[in-house]
Structure 1
């Protein structure tokens, strides 16, 4: 008489659960790091765009007759971006020349990206 196996044994089920537990214990911290890194990279991209916008506006101010000698503020630089404001979810703060860009999608406790505003 043959004995027919009609399902998984308890040991097989426990082993699958253990393997899934180990994989999730390794994968979840990696996912959190990826999210933090992506949010920081996005903020650095906005900071780079702000630096470029600042330099372009400075050159325009120098070339045009309406040049004003006053220094630009960090928030004012944001109005020079395409669309007239930083992208949704980003805030610009600080007192020139030390400015910061914060990403609302960054995990709690993430330091905002800082950059120095170049001015004469």
Structure 2
């Protein structure tokens, strides 16, 4: 008699069960890609705001108004309101960060301006304008924004 060389039904069932267990444990990590993408975009926005604020401060320093409140500087065709060398308000931020008004939702939270996604309040970017010549503007990603955009 010739012996068959295939897999038994039990071996196939065991392999399928093992693959099912692996899929169940790995699936949540891969299904959360949207939150990871949002969080990465928020980190990028934080960098863009911080970089634009730094460039604005440099321009204010060149103009000699980096330590004064309620000043303006010009950048191209735009006039930017600054306080102590940094963008003073939402309009100033929109002038120095390209695409800010088109791509992000915003909300006010005290002195801070929050930026985030519509319907997503787990993380957002907070920009707090400078409040003194020795107190720079603060840009940070915060957890649990507490507001829906």
TM-score range, shorter chain: 0.5 to 0.7
Cα-Cα RMSD: 3.4
Kept in 1: contact 2:111–2:129 (CA 8 A): yes
Greater percentage in strand = 2
- Whole-angstrom distance in 1 between the partners of 2:121 and 2:11: 42
Aligned with 1:91 (options 95, 104, 122): 104
Greater percentage in helix = 1
Distance 1:35 1:70, change over 3 A: closer
Give the equivalent residue in structure 1 for 2:51: 52
Q: What is the CA deviation profile of residues 87-108 of structure 1, one whole-angstrom value per residue up to 9, with x for unaligned ones?
A: 97x414122731223257xxx7
Give the equivalent residue in structure 2 for 1:4: 4
Give the deviation of 1:14 after TM superposition: 0.9
What TM-score does the superposition give when structure 1 sets the normalisation length? 0.66
Distance 1:86 1:22, change over 3 A: same
What TM-score does the superposition give when structure 2 sets the normalisation length? 0.56
- Whole-angstrom distance in 1 between the partners of 2:55 and 2:25: 46
Distance 1:39 1:87, change over 3 A: farther
- Residue 97 of structure 2 corresponds to residue 78 of structure 1: no
Unaligned runs of 5+ in 1: none
- Whole-angstrom distance in 2 between the partners of 1:87 and 1:70: 18
- Whole-angstrom distance in 2 between the partners of 1:75 and 1:43: 20
Kept in 2: contact 1:53–1:80 (CA 8 A): yes
Kept in 1: contact 2:94–2:101 (CA 8 A): no
SS of alignment partner, residue 122 of structure 2: coil
